Amino acid sequence: MTRNYVPTKKLIGLDLNSELKAFDSAARSKRAEAIAVADYRSERGEVVAALVAAAATAANDEVSLGYAERMRACADRQNFYYGEDFLDSSTGELFSGFNNLFGCGLKLCQSCMARSAARNRRIALRVLEHTELLNKEHYCFITGGYIVEQEQHRFVTLTMPKISKSLKVSSKIQKRSWDLLRKLKFTKTYLPGIIKTAEFTVRIDRTYHNHLHLLAISYFIPESLIKEAWTSCVKTAFAEFGVDFEAAQANVNLKLVYDLQGAVKEVCKYITKSDSWEKIPAEHLLEITRIKRWDRMFEISGRFRQTLAKLKIQDAAAADALSSFLDKKSTFTDGVARELNYFNTDGITDGELSSDLGCSEEIPAKPDEILKKPKRESWRDIIERDGLEKYKEIFYRQVEYAQKIRKLRLILKFPTASFSDLDGRPWDLAEIEQFAQQLAARGVDVLPA
Ligand SMILES: [Zn+2]
């Protein structure tokens, strides 16, 4: 029996050179796009750092000057890298991306907060994917003699009337209102699973528009009922903070979700628009830099929380699956090249760095020296005790160390990738190798990123 082999493409019509050229130019434009975003982040960071520094200088506030210094180091163009040919172990795909080497983790930092939003998106998608809606097969079902609608995903936006207070105060009022609402039986009944984020915008009259986004599992909620519940919670919170509630009600917007990915993007946005910080009065900006612990902006509750707990206790094989899931390109492209996400910038860290920076001055001789250390001082403590100048000396050594460690970890994790700075200069691999040997000689283990 003879077989007919049919080429999938007509070879005559195929111009290999033009395909290669197209591939090449696509890669170049992706690179240009990524670097444009990195440049933008760097510039925004520098602008906000300068605003903070100016306000802090005027107020003679060394800690806030330190805050600005940390932001500036993060926004420094030399602190960014661009990488190509990262291998996604779950799909075998190659991807490219950019990130900061050192992450300041501060709330006013455009880069760090964008990264934290990306992390939240991945968690949200993961949780959504593993939480089943009940009674999917029926539109309605009967329970206890009542007809109940099936569960659906709903997008709920909760807003508050205008307040002429600082961002810190308006955020506290919002937090209190939410705490009141989430404890209601109403909420637990109608919204059995919630992914929540807090966001704000600055109005043209320089007041803050705080709002909460919920992506929830929900039954049909009569709009008047949820508005009534939310309004009463907000009124109570306003009264507790001694603010007059002048509006007719606090607003609620309900939408059915048809596109989960889109909804996740909407929920897990950056805490505010990138230019908001520039519209804020200097004293409000300073107030923000003085907040040591932020309330959690991203919260998962109800059935979603149960899913999260289940996912966390799965065995190592599932943990591997999770990490490869987290690597999936499609889940968190911002429509631009992928952002790499290696820092933990959780809401309450106040910019303390994760494991990289266990040492405050020198690389420790042995890892157990890190363990022996009592509770690590915060950067605020150091500035308060020793002053800003002394802190800066320590800090810039830390940044240098963090950058080197980050490079090493990235190389270990992505042996197929090639790295450069934003100007296209490739990393000095010999220097990194030397650093790795120094660490090895001191018995410090470096794990891949
Ligand atoms: Zn940062």
Q: For residue 92, report the distance from its CA to the centre of ligand 1, in Å.
A: 31
Q: For residue 439, report the distance from its CA to the centre of ligand 1, in Å.
A: 26
Q: For residue 351, report the distance from its CA to the centre of ligand 1, in Å.
A: 8
Q: For residue 294, report the distance from its CA to the centre of ligand 1, in Å.
A: 16
Tell me what pLDDT residue 241 has.
94
Q: For residue 292, report the distance from its CA to the centre of ligand 1, in Å.
A: 16
Tell me what pLDDT residue 333 has.
29
Identify the bridge partners of residue 152 per DSSP, sorted by sequence position: 218
Domain spans of the chain? 118-312
Taking 70 as the pLDDT cut, the residues of the chain under it are: 1-17, 19-20, 23, 89-90, 135-148, 271, 274, 314-376, 447-449
Q: For residue 187, report the distance from its CA to the centre of ligand 1, in Å.
A: 36
Q: For residue 44, report the distance from its CA to the centre of ligand 1, in Å.
A: 11
CA-only gyration radius of the chain, Å: 25
CA 178 and chain centroid, separation: 21
| 406: CB partners within 8 A, 6+ apart | 101, 102, 342, 356, 449
For residues 125 and 120, what is the distance between their CA atoms, to the nearest angstrom? 9
Q: For residue 219, report the distance from its CA to the centre of ligand 1, in Å.
A: 40
Q: For residue 101, report the distance from its CA to the centre of ligand 1, in Å.
A: 10
Identify which of 302, 319, 365, 333 has the alpha carbon closest to the alpha carbon of residue 122: 333
Question: What's the pTM?
Answer: 0.75
| 243: CB partners within 8 A, 6+ apart | 163, 165, 173
Tell me what pLDDT residue 204 has.
75
> Do residues 177 and 288 touch, judged by C-beta distance below 8 A?
no
Residue 352 has a CB neighbour count (10 Å cut-off) of: 15
Identify which of 250, 148, 258 has the alpha carbon closest to the alpha carbon of residue 192: 148
Tell me what pLDDT residue 24 has.
72
Q: What is the pLDDT of residues 268-303, one digit of tens each?
A: 877 677 677 777 888 888 988 988 877 778 899 999
Tell me what pLDDT residue 366 has.
44
